[in-house]
Amino acid sequence: MVNDKGGVGKTSLVANLAGQLAASGYRCLLIDLNRQANLADDLGYRDDQRDDQGTGLLMSVIAGAALEPVTDVRPGLDVVPGGARLADLVPLMVSRLQERDREAFRVLADILAPVAEPYDVVFIDCPPESPILTDLALTAARWVVMPTKSDAGGLVGMRLVGERFALARELNPDLGLLGSVLFATGSRSVQVHAEDRGAVANAFGGRSPLFAASIRHAERSAQDARRLGKLAHELEVEVAAQPAWWTALRDGTGTGGRLSTTAAGVAGDYRDVAVELLTLLRTVEEPAAKTRAEATR
Ligand SMILES: Nc1ncnc2c1ncn2[C@@H]1O[C@H](COP(=O)(O)OP(=O)(O)O)[C@@H](O)[C@H]1O
Ligand SMILES: [Mg+2]
């Protein structure tokens, strides 16, 4: 999940897509490359014993040793946490790049490979404004998904990703662009979406795969999610269980602290994106897997 711009939904998307896929039986791994580690808030492990602030990831890179994910942050969902310790990752990479040139970018792929096997999907949450960490992720990944907001800033981040993408393919020729997801869209206007499609096409040299599904703008439920460490589909369940506003009013329990009822719609949007993601992966990966199987027969 890449976009050089912050605030375009990378973290919200990886957390919710991995969360919903894990809840429906797919084994998922999430790797957090962010110093701020908003993922820890979204999944609710900030500052508890699982939150190593990126130490494990940094140590694996230093030693070239396999990653050791925190298991079952949700059933079926494992995480390699990010955090403040990742501040040391950039200078480390800079010195390695001086020694071994761009080959040094293979390190994430190398420490991920030994643990990746049991997972159906591995998500990497990329940081904004960090070409080095983005290159690290793009060298390890198979597919790029690029969230974007319908504003000029989001489009700038996109162009930068296009450049890093082209460079990363020299080391990782299998890297492909799966698509772009519109995030926090207020308008369902076809006109706006057509402009976004054009911008994606410009950034990636002609192809413009824009997901049909998008995530609606819903600020209050996003705040509930991050404050409570719950994913949209988990809030959806709690919203359904909360007493009607008029009961709360009648009983004098007040309406403060109530969860935003938009969570259900947002959870539905993430579900649609997750289904589209899996469908796309099936279409693009199954023929390749078949060819490989035939070649080894
Ligand atoms: N559906 C939504 N509508 C509006 N704002 C949202 C929505 N979902 C999340 N947000 C907010 O958008 C901000 C950026 O989201 P985030 O996923 O952290 O982006 P990034 O990882 O690209 O920086 C966060 O403050 C988050 O609470
Ligand atoms: Mg983020």
Q: 10-42, pLDDT tens digit by residue?
A: 999 999 999 999 999 999 999 999 999 999 999
Does residue 75 surpass a pLDDT of 90?
yes
Q: Report whether residue 267 contacts ligand 1, using a CB cutoff of 6 Å.
A: no
- Distance, in Å, from the CA atom of 179 to the CA atom of 162, rounded to the nearest integer, reads 12
d(Cα 104, Cα 171) in Å, to the nearest integer? 10
Tell me the C-alpha distance between 111 and 35, whole Å.
Answer: 19
Ligand nearest to the CA of 32: 2
Residues 134 and 2 sit within 8 Å (Cβ to Cβ): yes
Mean pLDDT of the chain: 90
- Predicted TM-score (pTM) of this structure: 0.93
Q: What percent of the chain stands above pLDDT 90? A: 71
Per CATH, the number for 10-296 is 3.40.50.300
Structure tokens belonging to residue 296:
């080894």
The CB-based long-range contact list for 45-48 (8 Å cut-off, 24+ gap) reads 45/70, 45/73, 45/79, 45/81, 45/229, 46/229
Ligand 2 centre to CA of 155 (Å) is: 17
Ligand 1 centroid to 96 CA: how many Å?
33
Q: Where are the domains positioned within the chain?
A: 10-296
Q: What is the residue with the minimal CA distance to atom 10 of ligand 1?
A: 222
- Given this model, what pLDDT does residue 151 score? 67
Residues 6+ away with beta carbon under 8 Å from 97: 104, 105, 132
* Extended strands (E) in 108-256: 121-125, 143-148, 176-182
Cα separation, 273 vs 223, in Å, equals 21
Q: Which of 226, 215, 160, 227 is nearest to 188 (CA)?
A: 215
Element (H, E) at 126: none
Q: Which ligand is nearest to the CA of 37?
A: 2
pLDDT-wise least confident of 60-74, 87-101, 240-254: 240-254
The token duo for 148 is 């974007």
Any idea which residue has 């997901």 for tokens? 211
For residue 121, what are the contacts with CB-CB under 8 A and spacing of at least 6?
Answer: 18, 21, 26, 27, 28, 29, 281
> 263 CB less than 6 Å from ligand 1?
no
CA distances from 268 to 8, 17, 39, 226 (A): 19, 11, 20, 18
Residue 6 near ligand 1, beta carbon < 6 Å: yes
Distance CA 78, CA 192 (A): 37
- Ligand with minimal distance to 235 CA: 1
Decide if pLDDT at 95 tops 80: yes
**C-beta 218 within 6 A of ligand 1:** yes
Query: CA 177, 276, 127, 81 torsion: positive or negative?
Result: negative
Q: Which atom of ligand 1 is nearest to the CA of 34?
A: 21
Instruction: Work out the end-to-end distance of the chain between its first and last CA atoms, rounded to an integer number of angstroms.
Output: 35
- Label residue 291 by pLDDT band (50, 70, 90): confident
